[in-house]
Amino acid sequence: MADTTEARRARKWNATRLPDQTGRTAVITGANSGLGLATAQALARTGAHVVFAVRDLARGGAAAAKVDGSTEVRRLDLADLDSVREFAEAWDRPLDLLINNAGVMMLPEQRTKQGFEMQFGTNHLGHFALTNLLLPHVTDRVVTVSSGLHRGGDGVIHFDDVNLRGRYSPTRAYAQSKLANLLFTLELQRRLTEAGSPVRALAAHPGYAATNLQSHAANPLMRAVMGVGNRIFAQDDKAGALPTLYAAGQDLPGAAYVGPDGLGEMRGAPTLVGRSAAASDPESARRLWRLSEEMTGVTWGLKPVG
């Protein structure tokens, strides 16, 4: 039988091929909308108990009510390290899957409660602190959502001043935060391996997916362009969530990075993808880890196995 386009398409990985999640617990940051909600729906539908870690409990509750499966809602504000600590301190049971999904994108210059640049503080530092504080409970894997735009901006971490004082631009700050997500995953996996832990750290990116993130861009022209792109070119949130679900459910090596298999990794079925040289640099990963510990006051606490 000929290997037709339709036959090949039928073999493409999708959420219906997600392994049974019965008995597993997943925490998803930013699960109240967009990619996070699509991820929550897929995991709950296959049996997982999904915890919506969200800033607004009312919105989180309304979103959870749309999900067919077992859910709960807990408050978490990644832009406030006190909130991150409160969330982690209240956690008292095994956690199979932590999905660091929440994020902000190309905002006007703002600061977190502790005074950090908002995109770096939310997208990276908040998740860095949350992961380390929850890690003693994690049994399977940590999936962190990055972006193909980690290659953008200046393509580096501005170690001299990650808060970008005096040189802030929305795109530079966003690219830096997404690069930080990949370096964090790289160093987290190195430390897990060194500690003899079976937990895996992975990263994913959605390609070009239509979400509400683009509506908050600082530049009005960019918001308009993204709005048109969302309607014409982008995948929907369910398709955009597939790389995260693939990373969460498939047997992949630690530090793997998953994205769409189409042209420019903009859309398509999930597959392993490459990353920039800067995102693959182990010394930068270690340096970022040390800086993140200093900025958050949260340190590596996983004891070696055995």
**What are the structural domain ranges in the chain?**
18-209+237-295
Round to whole Å and give the CA distance between 153 and 171.
6
Query: Could you read off the pLDDT of 150-198 as tens digits, one per residue?
Result: 999 999 999 999 999 999 999 999 999 999 999 999 999 999 999 999 9
Confidence (pLDDT) at 117: 98
Give alpha helix (H) positions in the chain.
Answer: 5-11, 34-45, 57-64, 81-89, 118-119, 127-134, 170-194, 220-232, 237-240, 242-249, 282-296
Confidence (pLDDT) at 302: 85
174 carries an active-site annotation: yes
Round to whole Å and give the CA distance between 144 and 101.
6
Confidence (pLDDT) at 7: 41
Class of domain 18-209+237-295: alpha beta
For residue 136 the two structure tokens come to: 């003693």
Round to whole Å and give the CA distance between 85 and 75.
11
Catalytic: which of 168, 174, 208, 257?
A: 174
Round to whole Å and give the CA distance between 102 and 80.
14
The model carries a pTM of: 0.90
Confidence (pLDDT) at 170: 97
141 forms bridges with which residues in the sheet?
97, 200
Percent of the chain residues past pLDDT 70, beyond the cut: 88
Confidence (pLDDT) at 12: 82
Confidence (pLDDT) at 293: 98
Confidence (pLDDT) at 209: 85
Going edge to edge, which strands form the sheet with 70-75? 70-75, 49-54, 25-29, 95-100, 138-145, 200-204, 257-260, 270-272
Tens digit of each residue's pLDDT, the chain (306 residues): 344 443 444 458 988 899 999 999 999 999 999 999 999 999 999 999 999 999 999 999 999 999 999 999 999 999 999 999 999 999 999 999 999 999 999 999 999 999 999 999 999 999 999 999 999 999 999 999 999 999 999 999 999 999 999 999 999 999 999 999 999 999 999 999 999 999 999 999 999 987 665 444 555 655 444 454 445 456 899 999 999 999 999 999 999 999 999 999 999 999 999 999 999 999 999 999 999 999 999 999 787 765
